[in-house]
């Protein structure tokens, strides 16, 4: 497996990977309506737009994209960054790929310059991120209006 930077031609495959993961893994924590709304939002065009202002990475096994993740500035901050769009195909989960994606993002220049990294975490992924050293922002361990936990890590 290799992790490389996103290329424009990856958008369709990344969008399909996210849709499959949401429908297979995240469905245990969210309603079908919520999942389908997310799928409608995370289109190839949206992925390409996100990649235009973040450092977006894909994990590949051969030619197949099996995971993804991005890091970018937190609301334009020079000292804070955010992680986004971290997904691993269901059949590859539990094999350390998510951990390798996080490790790659944490070595990126956006992470290196940051004193704090935030991640909007799904209910499904919250415990994974907590194992990676992220904790509840301001001690709030409840989901917000977007049904996400806000986690952070200080460096």
CATH of 2-154, picked from 3.40.630.30, 3.40.50.720, 3.40.50.2300, 2.130.10.10, is: 3.40.630.30
Cβ-contact 152, 116 below 8 angstroms: yes
pLDDT digits (tens, 9 = 90+) for 135-150: 999 999 999 999 999 9
Q: Where are the beta strands (DSSP E) in the chain?
A: 2-5, 55-61, 64-73, 80-88, 116-122, 135-136, 148-154
Share of the chain above pLDDT 70, in %: 100
Helix (H, G, I), strand (E, B) or coil at 93: coil
Which phi-psi region, left, alpha or beta, contains residue 130 (left: φ > 0; alpha: ψ -120 to 50)?
A: alpha
Region 116-132: what's the mean pLDDT?
97
Residue 90, judged by CB atoms within 10 A of its CB (0-12, 13-18, 19+), counts as middle
Residue 127, judged by CB atoms within 10 A of its CB (0-12, 13-18, 19+), counts as exposed
Return the residue matching tokens 């450092």.
55
Region 60-71: what's the mean pLDDT?
97
pLDDT digits (tens, 9 = 90+) for 109-122: 999 999 999 999 99
Residue 116, judged by CB atoms within 10 A of its CB (0-12, 13-18, 19+), counts as middle
pLDDT of residue 22: 98
Could you tell me how many residues make up the chain? 155
Between CA 132 and CA 48 the distance in angstroms is 27
> pTM of the predicted model, to two decimals?
0.95
pLDDT bin (cut points 50, 70, 90) of residue 76 is confident
The alpha-carbon radius of gyration of the chain (Å, integer) is 15
Return the residue matching tokens 């996400």.
148
């Amino acid at each position: 497996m290799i992790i490389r930077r996103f290329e424009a031609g990856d958008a369709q495959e990344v969008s399909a990977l996210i849709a499959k993961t949401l429908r297979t893994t995240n469905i245990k924590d969210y309603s079908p309506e919520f999942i389908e709304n997310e799928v409608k939002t995370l289109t190839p065009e949206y992925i390409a737009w996100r990649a235009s202002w973040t450092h977006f990475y894909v994990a590949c096994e051969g030619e197949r994209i099996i995971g993804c993740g991005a890091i970018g500035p937190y609301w334009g901050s020079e000292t804070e960054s955010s992680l986004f769009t971290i997904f691993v195909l269901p059949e590859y989960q539990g094999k350390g790929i998510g951990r390798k994606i996080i490790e790659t993002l944490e070595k990126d220049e956006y992470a290196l310059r940051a004193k704090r990294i935030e991640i909007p975490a799904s209910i499904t992924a919250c415990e994974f991120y907590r194992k990676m050293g992220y904790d509840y922002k301001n001690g709030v361990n409840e989901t917000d209006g977007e049904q996400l936990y806000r986690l952070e890590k200080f460096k």
